[in-house]
Structure 1
Amino acid sequence: MSIPPPPGPHQPQDPYQPPQPQSPYPQDPFAPPSQDPFAPPPQDPYAPPQQDPYAQGPYGPVNPQGPQGPMGPMGPYPQAPYGGAPYPVWGQGYGPFGRPSPVNGVAIASLVLGLLCFLPAVGLVLGIIALVQIRKRGERGKGMAIAGSVLSSVGLALWVLLLATGSSSDFWDGFKEGASGNSSFSLAKGDCFDVPGDTFDEDVYDVDEVACSGEHDAEVFATVPLSDGGFPGDDHVTEVAEDKCYALRGAYAMDPWALTDKVDVYYLTPTADSWSWGDREITCVFANVDEKGTLTGSLRADETTLDAHQFAFLKAMSAVDDVLYEEPEEYAEEDLASNRTWAGDIGDVTGDQADSLGTHIWPTDVRQPVAALVKDMRDAAKEWAAAAKATDADGFYEHYDTAYEYVDGDTTVTAREALGLATTVPTYDEDSESGSGGTGGGDSDSGLDV
């Protein structure tokens, strides 16, 4: 037999509808039991509709004003299609993990400029801009922006103080001095150095100071200061270098015989760029005539390195050599008067230096060799005096040739050997412009650029 359905309209169970929440109000104990244990209790048709205060619609709470809400027939929020509680909402979706807001780049720049005290005014402006951007965009970096602004303000105040007191000039001078520590700015008389390039006969932009006892590219024998003012030009600087360097080499290397034909005179000159950094010196140096050659040992021979006897001997010989190098360029046939005047001068200086050497007190082993040299010098002085009185070119050259036989003769070599000086007679360059040493050359120069 079949069981009759319960009274009232039959409503089949919707398989997709979630279970209905139980009413928070207790059932009437006198109501007849429901045939369907899952059906909700019947409602009083005259009672106001019951609303679950905790029910949530898909977009928020159900409109408490019922189906005739102020925003339409269904109100602003739809209810469940079958009455009762609306469909449950399973949260608002999966939100992203909490990511920190980016750091403001302008704040970083402000902090860096503030720490370095570089362009402090710019660092201060960037710090203010960063604070405004951080407030508008919600970015991080407020602390950096504030720190950069404060440090930049301090740096700006210091710069203003330096400019007001003139201390910035001292600071800049110190900076330039430190920056030029490995350049020819720092080279002094007696220094030896290497150049970074493959050869010395090219522009020199930097130098490395080394010991003179070992191999080196060049040795400084003099520095020539230049006057202040605007850069005088490359030609003028080169002309001064040629005149001064050749004249000064004999004071540093008093023994010209020690300067072999492998040694020549070079000079480092200021350029327009180095002039703006305060370079006001010409640096005169000895270097090998071979572009890739080097020097070994110091060429210095003056009163700081010679003993008293060596110094006295070389000083006398240098005085004679200086006048010998003043020989007129014209032959006696062309200008007899000039040649006679020169011969008289060389005769006088030769006689004077012979007297100087003769009165010096020499060591026992040096006394005899020097005495022989003094005798030859006095004989040579007589021949020079006779040449100065010649009436024609033939008579002039007769005494000229005899006098020159004494120059750098055997007695000179013997005296040098006794004094411990170089004994190899140098080869003199007839085209050499001036000075002692007979090293010739000197046409190459090296410009300084730092």
Structure 2
Amino acid sequence: MSIPPPPGPQQPQDPYQPPQPQGAYPPPSYPQPQPQGPYPQAPYGAAPYQVWGQGYTPFARPAPVNGVAIAALVLGLLCFLPAVGLVLGIIALVQIKKRGERGKGLAIAGAVVSSLGLALWVVSLSTNAASDIWEGVKEGARGSSYSLVKGDCFDVPGAGFDQDVYDVDKVPCSGAHEGEVFGTVPLSGEDYPGDGYVTDRAEDECWTLQDGYAMDPWALTDEVEVFYLTPTADSWAWGDRMITCVFAHTDESGTLTGSLRADASTLDADQVAFLEAMDAVDEVLYEEPEDYAEEDLDANKDWAADVRDVLGEQAEALRGHPWSGDAEKSVVALAKDMEAARADWAKAATAGDVDTFYLHYDSGYEYVDGDTTVAAREALDLATTPPSYDEDDYDTGSDSGSGSEDV
């Protein structure tokens, strides 16, 4: 399991901390902190290929690069609009002088290359080569940002994810790398749908892709964070239609080593069966009502009934799987604890008052990430250190099932 119960004097103890004595529950008038999902919201930023995620704020940012200078160089290099690149290069030089921005070299290079492009343009018109070039450019731009696919590892030239990302260098996952792609989300449409839409799609779909790529949440340490590489309005115009979901290090100067991939392509049948059962239970635990039992006892009782049901289903699934080696003994012991917890959740589901509900709520949570869980994981050669959560992961008024950028 990887779902801590919400903290507070009326709430059960954190399943990742040693059991603490439980006293009588205070009256419901005391305010209760509301848990947030394990992924707190992070700020957004924009880049030529936008990067969404935790991000970092450097102590001193350099002067910004003039965007017109970049456009001048790009259009000059692409050749099919050389005159535009020349004009933009001149405009950029004027803006740079007035604003104190960087990019003078880009503007000059764009103007020079555009001048050469004018000559090539004349030649291409006489040989019908222009249409072939244009189609080639559009075809190459379609699809994934930087042509990254699921399972690729890469480095970001320059400052890293806290700055604008223009390009990446693919590297082997076995060595040190700055990012690992765990999924891509294709987009469609003629017009750019806007930053808000793109970000919402990234948040909704990258987390699902993450769960499928890294099935074991215990294997994702506190140093791992999620970022999104997304199209911008400019890159959309050239055919970029892909959100790229990425694992990266929480430290802007840190790197990852080795792949974080843990799915059916890297795990054996026993490991997959175990993680699927645990994930099914976690998914229901994440659905805990936003309101505490003092505020809405019936909603909490309905949720407790769902927990009761999923524990019974997954305990039966664990017992029914043909485990190999010494794993069966440890997994069956865990299933026994799950059945005991199920009995407590059943009593919580029929509790007549708040105190009785929390009494069985506490007992039902005691097995979570306990000794039998660790023993089963050890027998299956899976990670054995439960994930930790900071107090900042909880915030009043948040939905315990919400997801965001931090892993």
Label 1:194 to 1:154 Cα distance change in 2 as closer, same or farther (>3 A).
closer
**Secondary structure of 1:224 counterpart:** strand
Asked if residue 214 in structure 1 is aligned to residue 214 in structure 2, the reply is no
Which amino acid is the alignment partner of residue 442 of structure 1? E
Query: Compared with structure 1, are the counterparts of its residues 118 and 259 closer, same or farther at alpha carbon in structure 2 (3 Å cutoff)?
Result: closer
How many residue pairs get aligned? The number is: 288
After superposition, what is the alpha-carbon deviation per residue over 1:333-383, rounded to whole angstroms, capped at 9, x for unaligned? 112122112111121111111111101111131111111011011111121
TM-superposed deviation, 1:227: 2.6
1:222, 1:285 within 8 Å by CA — same for their partners in 2? yes
3-state SS of 2:180 partner: strand
Q: Measure, in 1, the Cα distance between the counterparts of 2:163 and 2:227.
A: 11
What letter corresponds to residue 223 of structure 1 in structure 2?
T
* 2:405 aligned partner: 442
1:203 to 2:164 alignment: yes
Per the alignment, do residues 280 and 152 of structure 1 end up closer, same or farther by CA in structure 2, a change over 3 Å counting? closer
SS in 2 for 1:356: helix
Distance (whole Å) between structure 1 residues aligned to residue 358 and residue 221 of structure 2: 29
Given candidates 231, 235, 244, the residue that maps to 1:283 is 244
Deviation at 1:318, TM superposition (A): 0.9
Tell me the residue number matched to 2:329. Answer: 368
Q: Would the aligned equivalents of 2:290 and 2:400 in 1 still touch at CA under 8 Å? A: no
Alpha-carbon distance between aligned partners in 1 of 2:188 and 2:124, rounded to the nearest angstrom: 37
Checking the alignment, whether the CA contact within 8 Å between 2:225 and 2:405 is kept in structure 1 is yes
Residue equivalent to 2:357? 396
How much has 1:399 moved relative to structure 2? 0.8
| Structure 1 residues 228 and 389, CA gap change in structure 2 (3 angstroms) | same
Q: Is the 8 A contact 1:269 1:283 kept in 2?
A: yes
Structure 2 residue corresponding to 1:379, chosen from 332, 336, 340 = 340
- Secondary structure of residue in 2 paired with 1:251: helix
Q: Do the aligned partners of 2:142 and 2:241 also contact (CA within 8 Å) in 1?
A: no
Contact 1:221 1:285 in 2 (8 A): yes
Hey, what's the Cα distance between the residues in 2 that align with 1:301 and 1:405? 27
1:92-129 Cα shifts (integer Å, max 9, x gaps): xxxxxxxxxxxxxxxxxxxxxxxxx989xxxxxxxxxx
Q: Note the C-alpha offset of 1:203.
A: 2.5
SS at match of 1:250: helix
Quote the offset at 1:157 in angstroms: 4.5
In structure 2, the residue matched to 1:130 is: none
The question of 1:190 aligning with 2:151 is answered yes
Using a 3 Å threshold, how does the CA distance of structure 1 residues 200 and 224 change in structure 2: closer, same or farther?
same
Please name the residue that 1:257 is paired with: 218
Give 1:232's aligned residue: 193
Which residue identity lines up with residue 238 of structure 1 in the other structure?
T
Q: Between the two structures, name the one with larger relative contact order (CA 8 Å, sep ≥ 6).
A: 2
Q: Deviations over 1:70-112 (max 9, x none)?
A: xxxxxxxxxxxxxxxxxxxxxxxxxxxxxxxxxxxxxxxxxxx
Aligned to 1:158: 127
Q: What is the CA-CA distance between 1:245 and the residue it aligns to? A: 1.5
Moved more, 382-391 or 348-357: 382-391
Percent of aligned positions with the same letter in both sequences?
A: 64
TM-score, structure 1 normalization: 0.59
Change over 3 Å in CA distance of 1:194–1:152 after alignment to 2: closer
Does the 8 Å contact 2:156/2:178 carry over to 1?
yes
- Deviation track 1:6-34 (CA, whole Å, cap 9, x = no partner) reads xxxxxxxxxxxxxxxxxxxxxxxxxxxxx
**Bigger shift: residues 249-258 or 385-394:** 385-394
Is the partner of 2:246 in helix, strand or coil?
Answer: strand
Shift of 1:251: 0.8
Q: Structure 1: where are the runs of 5+ without partners?
A: 1-116, 120-150, 445-450
Stretches of 4+ aligned residues off by more than 6 angstroms: 151-154, 432-436
What does residue 414 of structure 1 align with? 375
Counterpart in the other structure of 2:136: 174
Q: Is the 8 A contact 1:264 1:441 kept in 2?
A: no
User: Aligned ranges for residues 243-254 of structure 1 at < 5 Å?
Assistant: 243-254=204-215
